Structure formats: structure tokens, C-alpha cells
Amino acid sequence: MLASSGEYFYTDQTSMKTNNFHHLYLRTNIPAGQFLRLRRLCGSRDEYRNQAAKMRDKFLARGYPGKTIKQAYKRGLYADRTSLLQTRQRSEVDRLVCVLPYTQRTQKIQEIILQHWHVLTFHESLQNRPLFARTRGRNLRDILVHSDSYQTDTEPTPGQYRCQGCSVCKHVLETKSFQHPTMPYKQVLSRHFDCSTDRVIYAILCPCQKLYIGQTKLSICTRIIQHRSCIHTGKIESPLVKHWQDCGHTEDQLKFCILQQRPNRRGGHISQDLRQTEQRFIYYWQTMAPKGLNATIEWEAFL
């Protein structure tokens, strides 16, 4: 809707038809928002009534229920124009935001999460119930169109190998599979990994046969150099650094193996994907201190 010299021109961009797949709250709140905007533009209630009749016809033509339009009209009619013209200050909310893809089951999922939220309140960051937000669900284009191409027929031999050209090569465990040192878990390496591989979940093995699980979007070479620096300086207090210093391990005794490389698909969330996969490995491989070298499981990664 545009206004110029007392004349109002109505556009269709903000009055979508009601027979779409958008959330019900969005469809019902569009008329309310438009009538409030009209009240802001009109200098008097009489002018508002005249212009609101035209807007009502627009919404009726696009299939909006008469009851919804009537409620939105009254909300704009009795609104205080002075308060509508004031800029509102948004207050910061210190609560987790749970983002769900919008489907027909989203509301049910939200109800289930809230019903069992008390189970998670043992964690200090999960004391308050979360806020919920929606993202666009997958459409036919997302399902049918794929831009990723994997040339599996020309890919090198699966496994982890040294690149023979960096300072991290001496820490590489050259292998085609990684066996958990104390549990019957074995991770078969399905792709070719070297020191330049990025977007990975990796395991660090200390001489005491304890594991640390980590993830990085950077190359594994860069991440291992960061670990070496932390162990050398001791500035970061973490179970990994503390264990290395308490046991008197040297930097050269650090060994690592890439467990997985996550795909960086178009429209994906690689950071969230890496973090969630890391937490799954930490949970199933039981690498939390004192059994392992991870601090704790970050449950908020799945919200």
C-alpha cells in the first residue's frame, strides 16, 4: 500500500491469497497489519473508514474470511494513531530459539517438545522454555534439483593419508578405518582424507588411549595446529589441554584421524550439521571426561 497526496494505491505483494501453504498465523495477521498501517497513514478516523472500505474489498477478492477482515478493521479503527507513529524498541530476549521447518506436523512437534521440556531443564542454559521459529519447508525444487556431483569412479583410495607437505603429517594416523580404543566401535573411512580436507569430524588419540572428538569447517591441518598451540601455551582450560599437561604428554604424541566429512550442500547449514554430528559421536562413543577428553555434551546444538 502506497500513499501520496491523500490518495492510496494498494499493492498485492502484502495480501497473498489464503489458499497457500503459509502458516495460519501469518495469513490471519496480514489483514491486521495492513489495517494498522492504513490507520497510521490516515489523519482522521473518517478518512480511515473511507479507505478501509477499499482495502476490505481487496482482501475479500483474495479469499480472506469476512470475520478476519472485520476484526482487523476494528483493531485499526480503535487504535491510537499517536502510539502507532512511535518507534518501538525491541527488547532482547535471553531464550533459546528452536527453528523448525514448516510442515503440517510442525505444530505437533512443537507441542511434544514443550510437553517434555522439563526433561532438559537439568542444564543451566535450558531453564526457560524455548521460542519457536519457522523456516521454509522443502519444496519440489529442493527434492528434484541437485547441484552436488560426486565422481566416485575417479576418487582416490578411501582412507586417511599424509599429504607429505606440512607440519601436521607426523600426527596423522594412516588407516582405512578407526577403531575405538576401549569400546567395540569402528568407523570405516568411506572417502579419501588428507591434511587439506575440511568440514570434518575428527578424533584425537592420546597415549593413554583416551579420545577427543572435534569438528571444524577449516582444513584439518589448521585445526590440529590450533590444538598444538593450545597445548603448548596452556591458555585454554579444557579437558584435552589439562590432560596433556597433567600427564606430561608431548605435542609430538598427538595423533588424529578424520572420522567423517560432511557435505556442503546448497541451502544447507554446515555449521549446525557439523556440531550435531560431533555431539552424536561424543554421546555414542562416550568421550566425556573422565572417560574421554570432551568437556560435556552440548544439547542445545539440536534446538
The verdict on 243 and 268 lying in the same domain is: yes
C-alpha cell at 108: 505437533
The verdict on 117 and 42 lying in the same domain is: no
Cβ-proximal residues to 18 (8 Å cutoff; 6+ apart), any chain:
27, 62, 63, 64, 65
The verdict on 221 and 270 lying in the same domain is: yes
pTM over 0.85: no
DSSP letters, 4-69, are ETTEEE--STT---SSSSS-HHHHHHHHHHHHHHHHHH-SSHHHHHHHHHHHHHHHHHTT--HHHH
In-domain check, residue 145: no
The verdict on 226 and 205 lying in the same domain is: yes
The verdict on 281 and 222 lying in the same domain is: yes
Tens digits of residue pLDDT in 237-288: 788 999 998 999 998 999 999 999 998 876 678 999 999 999 999 999 999 9
List Cα–Cα distances, 242 to 222, 235, 239, 246, in angstroms.
Answer: 21, 10, 5, 6
What is the extent of the structural domain holding 39? 2-85
In-domain check, residue 238: yes
DSSP letters, 246-261, are HTT--GGG-EEEEEEE
Mean pLDDT of the 5-20 span: 58
The verdict on 128 and 165 lying in the same domain is: no
Which secondary structure element, helix H or strand E, spans residue 299, and what is its range? Answer: none
Output 163-170 pairs: Cβ under 8 A, ≥24 positions apart. Answer: 163/194, 163/195, 163/196, 163/221, 165/195, 166/195, 166/221, 167/225, 168/195, 168/220, 168/221, 168/224, 168/225, 169/195, 170/252
Task: Band the pLDDT of 4: cuts 50, 70, 90.
Answer: very low
Between residues 141 and 201, the one the model is more confident about: 201
In-domain check, residue 213: yes
- Tracing cell 530476549 back to the chain, one arrives at 93
The verdict on 187 and 296 lying in the same domain is: yes
- 5 has pLDDT over 50: no
C-alpha cell at 20: 497457500
The verdict on 222 and 167 lying in the same domain is: yes
The verdict on 258 and 280 lying in the same domain is: yes
Tens digits of residue pLDDT in 128-184: 888 898 888 777 887 787 655 555 556 689 999 998 788 999 999 999 999 999 999
**Number of domains within the chain:** 3
Tens digits of residue pLDDT in 24-68: 777 788 888 899 999 999 988 899 999 999 899 888 888 888 888
Between residues 188 and 120, the one the model is more confident about: 188
The verdict on 122 and 176 lying in the same domain is: no
The verdict on 60 and 109 lying in the same domain is: no
In-domain check, residue 291: yes
The verdict on 8 and 107 lying in the same domain is: no
